[in-house]
Amino acid sequence: MNKAMVVLLLLALALVVAVAAPFVPLGMLRETSDETAAKIFWNMRVPRVLMAIVAGAGLAASGMALQAIFRNPLATPFTLGVASGASLGACVYIHLGLALSPLWIPGESWSAFAGAVLSIVLVYGLTRTRRGFSTATLLLAGVAINFFFSSLILLMQYLSDFTDTYRILRWMMGGLERGVTYRDLYAVLPLVAGGTAIVVYLTHELNLITTGDELAASRGVEVNRTKGVLFFAVSLVVGAIVAVCGPIGFVGLMAPHICRLLVGPDHRYLTPATLLFGAAFLTACDTLARTVMFPVELPVGIITALLGGPFFLWLLLRRSAAWE
């Protein structure tokens, strides 16, 4: 099945080259070519596709880990309020009218990542006010921070002028069309790769945690420590992705659950399948966002939301036999 996921990812990449506008003839893809189409391909399309692969895999792995921690297939990477923290950071930057680019990375991304880190610290601090690392407390703290930051975002929009309000709204739609560069990819890749590696390393612990904290502890798993490590790993992955791409929703909900139906709940097989499917899924959605209304580009967050809304309702109406 994982081989099928690899094929799916390759097909998604082929789809990008074949149909994504503007069309680039294969003979013009040489890096030494002076043709405008080749420059567009190497300097704009390739980093954007690579970012879609990295972001899709990271969001999917994060969703899978959170669904295991909460033992709930409806959990998403944005459950813990990291996305709202990053959105608030970006909104503050836009509202203040700043124009900074430290290390050639947009200040908007730095501010968004700072907001994500603030959210992580607050959620972790609220969770640690009670003894242990309670999943229920973690969930409630994340929801509370999410609502609080969302209200601050609304306040920021109300206080901003028309131009800044539009920029804030546009950023919160999530997308890969805002001129993703190789520098953005290099900034995101270490955190996503590191956090995803931790999730892959803890697949055995994830299998045991899904059966219950008591049984996992009886099998030698340090439940609180494992959940804490996964919390920080997943939060940093989501924070890094949202800081560059904005809040792209539903990838972390759909990809793990679809793969769970295809390969089963065993995380030894579910993890690689989820990574590959998430990468292929977001790449295909971004290609659709670029071409469905060409020359106008839709934010990819709209495409994933249009697909994810009905999928979420389907999950509510149907309990997966595989998860049980």
Residue 106 belongs to some domain of the structure: yes
Q: Is the dihedral of CA 138, 140, 143, 145 positive or negative?
A: negative
Q: In 3-state terms, what secondary structure has residue 6?
A: helix
116 vs 124: CA distance, rounded Å: 12
- CATH number of the CATH domain containing 225: 1.10.3470.10
pLDDT tens profile 65-101: 999 999 887 888 888 899 999 999 999 999 888 888 8
Residue 143 belongs to some domain of the structure: yes
Residue 312 belongs to some domain of the structure: yes
Q: What is the pLDDT of residue 151?
A: 94
Residue 324 belongs to some domain of the structure: no
Sorted by sequence, the CB contacts under 8 Å of residue 230 that are 6+ apart come out as 65, 69, 198, 199, 202, 206
Domain that holds residue 252: 2-317
Residue 305 belongs to some domain of the structure: yes
For 183-220, give the DSSP string.
Answer: HHHHHHHHHHHHHHHHHHHTHHHHHHHTT-HHHHHHTT
Residue 323 belongs to some domain of the structure: no
For 276-308, give the DSSP string.
Answer: HHHHHHHHHHHHHHHHTTTTS---HHHHHHHHH
- Count structural domains, the chain: 1
Identity of the amino acid at 107: G
Residue 168 belongs to some domain of the structure: yes
In eight-state DSSP terms, residue 147 is H
pLDDT tens profile 233-258: 999 999 999 999 999 989 999 999 88
Q: What is the pLDDT of residue 111?
A: 93
Residue 322 belongs to some domain of the structure: no
Q: In 3-state terms, what secondary structure has residue 97?
A: coil
| Per-residue confidence in pLDDT tens, the chain, 324 aa | 556 656 665 665 655 555 544 455 555 555 555 567 677 777 888 888 889 999 999 999 999 999 999 988 788 888 889 999 999 999 999 988 888 888 778 888 999 999 999 999 999 888 877 666 778 888 889 999 999 999 999 999 999 899 999 999 988 988 887 768 888 999 999 999 999 999 999 999 999 999 888 889 888 889 889 999 999 999 999 999 999 999 998 999 999 988 888 888 899 999 999 998 999 899 889 888 888 887 788 899 999 999 988 887 887 776 544 445
pLDDT tens profile 157-176: 999 899 999 999 988 988 88
The two tokens of residue 11 are 């097909």
What is each CA distance from 84 to 73, 248, 278, in whole angstroms?
A: 21, 12, 22
